[in-house]
Structure 1
Amino acid sequence: MFELFFYLVPTLMIAGVGYAAFRLIRRARRISRTWAQGLTAEARCLRTYTTTSGGGDTAVRTRVHHIYEYTSCEGAQVRFEETGGPATVLEGDCVTVRYLPAHPQQATAIPPSRGRLAAESGCLLAFLGLIIIFCLGFLAVAHSMFSVAGDLMP
C-alpha cells in the first residue's frame, strides 16, 4: 500500500503537466490561427485592471487585464477579456483586434509576434517536459527500490 503512493503521485503529476502542455499548445495554435486568418476590427478598451499573486517567500507577479468591446463583421457587439496585453493600453483607447468569425469572443488585441509566441510556448513546453522527465526518473528509481526490496524479502 505504501508503494502505491510512490507510483500514484508522480503519475498524477505527469497527467496534470500533460494537460497543461495540451492547453498551452491549443492556446498557441488558436492565437497563431487568429493572427493568420482572423478578421480585424477596431475595439475600445472599456476597463483595465491588474491582479497580483505571490508574496511572502515567493516573487510577486502582476498581470494586466483588459476588457475590450468591438463590433464583429456580422454587426454583433462582442466583449472579451484578455490578460497579458500591453500595459500602455488604457481605458478609452482604441486598438485593433483580430478574431475568427466562428469564435468572435476569442479575439486578441495582442499584435502579431510569431517569434515571441514560439519562444514563450517553447520555453514553457521545455519546462513542462523537464517536470515529466523528473517524474519518470522518480518512478524508475522508486520501482527499482521496491523491486530490490521485494527480492530481499524472505
Structure 2
Amino acid sequence: MEAFFYLVPTVMAVGLLLGMSRVLVRSRRIARAWNSGLTAEARCLRSYTTASGGGDTMISTTLHQIFEFTTRDGRVVRFEEVDGPGTILEGDIVTVRYAADRPEQATVKAPARGRLFAESGCLLSFLGVLLAFCVFFMFAVHLMFDEAGDLLP
C-alpha cells in the first residue's frame, strides 16, 4: 500500500520533469532562431487544425502551418510551426527567422523576447510548484508510515 503512495507521485514527477525540459528546449529553439539574425521569405504551403479531447473533456484545437523557404546557401527547407500566428493563410508570404546550423527549426513568430521569457517562466514556475508538491507528498507519506510499512497512529 505504501508503495502506491510513492509510485504515483514519482510517475507524476517524471512527467513534470519531461514537461519542464520540453519548455526549455522550445524556448531555446525559438531564441536561437531569433538571435541568429538570419531571415528569409517563406510561403505558407498548408494551414490546418487538429482537435483533441471530447466526451467528458474540453475540446482543444491546435493550429498547424507548413512553410517552405530557401536558405542563403540555396537549400530548400520545409518546416511545420505549431500554434503560429492565426492570421497567416495558405499562399501567404511571410518572414521566417532561422539559425544557419538548424534551418528546419525556423519560426514565423516575430521576436518578442520578453513575452517568451514570461511565458516560459510562468509555465516552469507552475510545473515547479506541482513538482514540489509531489516531493512534499512523498515526504509526508514517508513520515506517516513506520519501518514495517504500517500506518502510524
TM over 0.5: yes
Code of the residue aligned with 2:111 in structure 1: it is P
Matches within 5 A, 1:11-90: 11-90=10-89
| 1:120 aligned partner | 119
For normalisation by structure 2, the TM-score amounts to 0.91
Identity %: 56
Number of residue pairs matched by the alignment: 152
| 2:145 aligned partner | 146
Q: CA RMSD in A?
A: 1.9
**Do the aligned partners of 2:145 and 2:152 also contact (CA within 8 Å) in 1?**
no
CA distance in 2, matches of 1:29, 1:114: 11
- Structure having the larger proportion of residues in helix: 1
Measured after TM superposition, the shift of residue 14 of structure 1 is 1.1
What secondary structure sits across from 1:139 in the alignment? helix
| 1:136 aligned partner | 135
Code of the residue aligned with 1:35 in structure 2: it is W
Measured after TM superposition, the shift of residue 151 of structure 1 is 8.4
CA distance in 1, matches of 2:62, 2:111: 20
CA distance in 2, matches of 1:151, 1:12: 23
Code of the residue aligned with 2:97 in structure 1: it is R
| 1:3 aligned partner | 2
Measured after TM superposition, the shift of residue 81 of structure 1 is 0.3
- Cα distance per residue 1:43-84 (max 9 Å; x no partner): 000000011122333332221110000001110110000011
**Do the aligned partners of 1:38 and 1:101 also contact (CA within 8 Å) in 2?**
no
Which segments of 5 or more consecutive residues in structure 2 lack a partner in the other structure?
none
After TM superposition, which residue ranges in structure 1, 4 or more long, deviate above 3 angstroms? 148-153
**Do the aligned partners of 2:13 and 2:134 also contact (CA within 8 Å) in 1?**
yes
Deviates more, 1:26-35 or 1:75-84: 26-35
Which segments of 5 or more consecutive residues in structure 1 lack a partner in the other structure?
none
CA distance in 1, matches of 2:72, 2:141: 58
